[in-house]
Chains A and B, each alone.
Chain A
Amino acid sequence: MSKKKAVTIFFAVISSLLLISGCSGSDDVSGSDGKTIEFMHLWPEGSSKQHNEIVQDIVADFEAENPDVKVKLEVMSNEQYKDKIKVLSTSNELPDVGMTWAAGYLEPYVEGEKFAPLDDVLEGDLKDSFVSGIPEAYAIDGSTYGLPLELNVASIFYNKKIFEENGLEVPKTYEEFQDVVKTLSENGVAPIALGNKDRWTGSLWYMYFADRIGGGDALTNAISGSGSFKDPALVSAAEEVQNMVDMDAFVKGFNGLSDEEAKSMFMNEQAAMYLIATWDLPNYTTNEDVLQEFRDSVGYFPFPTVDGKGDMSSYVGGPGVGLFVAEDSDVKEEAKEFVSFFVQEWGKKSVTEAGVIPATKVDAASLDLPKMYVDVLDDLNNASNITLFADVQMSADVAQVHLDMIQSLFGKEVTPEEFAEKHEAALSK
């Protein structure tokens, strides 16, 4: 009897071992001779419906034109995406095509030889189709490793209705801007919605002060090492941030609010102004889910000059996500073709269908576009300078210090001098 039991147990163990070993191996079953491009993007249907649909369309068109190539999609939300890409690259299993951010984010991937250079694609079909200077943000040591899809610049959006009720006009100078803030807070209206839990949101304010006080290059130079964060202009930019906090310019508890929460305060008319980049344009123009009445009452103005200095046509912004092709992809040629196709189609479709500004040139005259959208495009065409988002310029570890410092600066836990010193210390490491 016991012997019989022992035998059954033995087989149970063996079969469970087989089960475990069965987990590995035998998972590459991709069609017989057709090729499959794996494509991972970060626009889920729930939160970015229009983006998601455009991707589906483009993929369908591409498959129709290239019958022997299939595109396999994987979609994730922003933060999840960043984590997953990292894990995949650690285990050398990057998708053939995926999304990346520029400059500092890109660096470790390029150094680790995970992304393929795309110079041939850029020089081929795509020549001259990008807004000038934009693909450069994806270049390292003279090669381009990503093709940008979006172009963003930040402006201050404001609620015309609230401005009217309080007898206010669009400010051109920092003094006028301060008056606007004062009047609003005296009348019991929260002046500016800011969700600084996400930290890059506060960074936008600091960057604009740095740009207006120190000129377009001050911050970029400090980050690249040819300048310094101890530059008086950059220190006084940090001071101005704290002055704004002292004036109660931002909504209460901004350091604990996410950007989403701040946005909803602006969109529920609980705050009069909101500094955000153009990726939010659809909310104020074409998005049917937002009340028409509210969309009509939103205007925007460029960041005002400080002491009459700084060029109002100088912007903080830069490309958003771009596409990369994995270096060890089995279908590199097809992937490159797909990327090229995608960028061109995206340039056409994203304008009219999603209302975002693509990194490729837009012919505004030939399309029927909302006025605010056309205005922003005009601004972009006349921009004297676009300073790339600070946290994107920096390498990841320095960016973390910068973002933490931004939160402390707004929370008045550090002085502007300490703020500068911490940056210098992080950069010199």
Chain B
Amino acid sequence: MDKVMSNKWIIGLYILPAFLLISIFIFIPLLLSGYYGLMDWDGIGAMKYIGMENYFNAIQDGLFWESALHSFLLALFSTVSLIAYLAISLVLASKIKGSNLLRKIYLIPMLLSSVAIAQLWIKVFHPSNGILNSMLALVGVENPPAWLAEPTVVLYAIFIPILWQYAGFYILIYYAALKNIPESIVEAARIDGATPLQIAYRIKLPLIMGVVKVTIVLAVVGSLKYFDLIYVMTGGGPNGASEVMASYMYKLAFSSNDFGYGSAIGFLLLLITLIVTVIIRKVTASKEELQY
């Protein structure tokens, strides 16, 4: 078998089916959308080649950068909340009562579809009948904001369900990584007199650093291309206050009938995500990975 695996032809053959599938369903559409970005096209009639005009327009488009800012804010919030998820996992992975049940509770949002989550939180945020404002009224808040209607609040209001939705996913990853740390290492530290906090910070965290880096990439990339909850809950409104790059692209291509421009934005979204990923990998790369 070793002989087989060292044969370049065989390796090539192994890769071929997956490569073909990925080409057909990912690379070719990617290139096509970059190509459509060069067109003046409403998505229905004839295409007209206009060179880089759409790309230049996009770079000068204030609304695009505003939506990009929103996407980056989401990425920032998601990354910061990783700390909270990590803390929760550290607690869950230590032997506390009911950690099993808690873990399941954190996982529930992951099992729901985005649309169901959106519907749920639309009800929570309802300005007069929603549970949130009803509770605020109970504790004496006179004029609670209409969460999804006020341009200054809506973006942050919408972040909450998104972070809630993915909490279980990251907690699960961290939990699995933490469970993989051999008990003997932790035990040794304990015998040396390390406090639980020291153990967490000095022993466990460095040992799962590889996983943490992966989750940072996942959180940032996932945030930059995030779409579904925002589309269902606000449609990017009011007046673009909660627009992100992906929803802006969708709006241009499918609502404004500007397929060429939408494709250009989509391609830019890809480039931005790629660049950011490379930067993160560079920044978080370390020469030596800790091993146990």
Contacts of A254 in B (CB 8 A): 146, 149
User: A2 interface residue, CB < 8 Å from B?
Assistant: yes
Asked if A370 lies at the interface with its beta carbon under 8 angstroms from chain B, I say no
Taking CB atoms, residues of chain B closer than 8 Å to A405 are 239
Contact A112 B24 (CB under 8 A): no
List which A145-174 residues lie within 8 A (CB) of chain B. none
Please, how many angstroms separate the alpha-carbon atoms of A89 and B43 in the complex? Answer: 8
Could you tell me which A residues sit within 8 Å of B by CB distance?
2, 5-6, 9-10, 13, 16-17, 20, 82-83, 86, 89-90, 108-109, 111-114, 190, 196-197, 199, 251-258, 261, 265, 270, 395-397, 400, 404-405, 407-408, 411, 413
B1–A86 touching, CB < 8 Å? no
CA distance A413 to B154 in the complex (A): 15
Q: Is B148 within 8 A of A256, CB to CB?
A: yes
Q: Within B87-143, which residues are at the interface with A (CB < 8 Å)? A: 122, 125-129
Stretch of B14-22, B78-86, B182-190, B194-202 on the interface side? B14-22
Whether A108 contacts B20 by the Cβ 8 Å rule is no
| Chain A min CB distance to B17 (Å) | 4
In the bound complex, CA of A173 to CA of B16 (Å): 74
Instruction: Answer whether A108 and B239 are a contact pair too, CB < 8 Å, given A5-B4, A10-B13, A255-B149.
Output: no
Measured in the bound complex, the distance between the Cα atoms of B235 and A231 in whole Å is: 31
Q: Which residues of B contact A (CB under 8 A)?
A: 1, 3-4, 7, 10, 13-14, 16-17, 20-21, 24, 42-46, 122, 125-129, 146-151, 154, 234-235, 237-240, 251, 254-259
- Contact between A16 and B151, CB atoms less than 8 A apart: no
Contact A407 to B237, CB < 8 A, known contacts A13-B13, A252-B128:
yes
Contact residue among A90, A109, A113, A255 (Cβ-Cβ distance under 8 Å from B238)? A255
Given contacts A256-B127, A256-B234, contact A108 B149 (CB under 8 A): no
In whole angstroms, what is the CA distance A222 to B223 when docked? 41
**Complex contact A112–B44 (CB within 8 A):** yes
Q: How far is the CA of A83 from the CA of B149 in the complex (A)?
A: 26
Distance between Cα atoms of A404 and B125 in the complex (Å): 22
CA distance A258 to B255 in the complex (A): 17
Name the one of B4, B146, B257 contacting A255, with C-beta atoms under 8 angstroms: B146
Partner among B4, B127, B239 whose Cβ is within 8 Å of the Cβ of A411: B239
> Given A252-B146, A413-B151, A112 and B127 touching (CB < 8 A)?
no
Q: Is the CB of A400 within 8 A of B234?
A: no
Give the one of A5, A13, A90, A256 with max B CB within 10 A. A256
